Amino acid sequence: MNDKISLGRYYETHSVLHTADPRVKAVLYLLYLIAIFMLQTRWGLLLAAVITAIQYVIAKIPLRIIWSTVKPVLPLAFFIFLINLFSVRGGEILFSWHFISFTDEGAGMAILMALRLLFLILSTSVMLTLTTTPLKLSDALESLFAPLKLIRVPVHEMAMMMSIALRFIPTLATETDKIMKAQMSRGAEYDNGSLFNRVRGYITVLVPLFVSSFKRAEELAVAMDARCYRGGEGRTKLNPLKITFTDMVIAVVFALGAAVPVVVDFLLI
């Protein structure tokens, strides 16, 4: 199961994006997020798809990892597609049967919203989780939000919690897989039978998973306390973040990559 998800998983390889400063990648991700929600035309979306594909090529991410990134989101994207298809009115009617109908504007909006979701997930993965370790991502967010410490916002603690959450997503997936295999060896069925029986079968997974999660949380808390962890006050970094000239070049190039689809989209509206 751990191989089927990419959220929170770092894919280790040597690429420009992997070695880039995580603060640069976080800012670039924000720019791509804004750009994705500004796109309106099919040409802008097509250009955004090409640029996203180039990002994955630069990051040296294989197709199986890309598919594992997109696959869990496809049902949600399809649901968003249907909601927009049948709820958005206006334009020429393309299909009508009794009380069910949709228009060309509804179809265009449905495709737009579904693609926005897919681009959002793909950009999040290639800019953050797949190319940045949870520890570096935590350090980047702590550095970017450091000014909030002036108004007593616990920036370090928030970054630490996010880092721990990302780190334990693959761990929980592995634990779930082990529990399901153990229950299946005892006769449990998760894909056969009625809906009620399948739901009841998954309860036998959720209960030990919750127990295991709380046990891991307690062990982590004890380990941190044994190492005299007292928050971010007075702590130093073994490898402090430094923005190099290469990072600046990456920032400029990828920022242009986020701006080009928006400009093209604006000219075609």
Residue 1 pLDDT > 60? no
pLDDT of residue 4: 52
pLDDT tens for each residue of 53-85 = 999 999 998 888 888 888 888 888 999 988 888
- Bridge partners (DSSP) of residue 39 are none
CA distance 149 to 127: 26
Q: What percent of the chain shows pLDDT beyond 90?
A: 13
Angle at 170 between CA 180 and CA 146, to 5 degrees: 150
CA distance 143 to 156: 9
pLDDT of residue 249: 92
Q: What pLDDT band is residue 3 in, cutting at 50, 70 and 90?
A: low
pTM of the predicted model as reported, rounded to 2 decimal places: 0.75
Q: What percent of the chain shows pLDDT beyond 70?
A: 92
Kind and range of the H or E run holding 97: strand 93-97
Tokens of 86: 């049948």
Q: What pLDDT band is residue 204 in, cutting at 50, 70 and 90?
A: confident
Give the three-class secondary structure for 260: helix
Residue 89 pLDDT > 80? no
> Which residues span the domain enclosing 223?
2-268
**Domain count of the chain?**
1
Residue 211 pLDDT > 70? yes
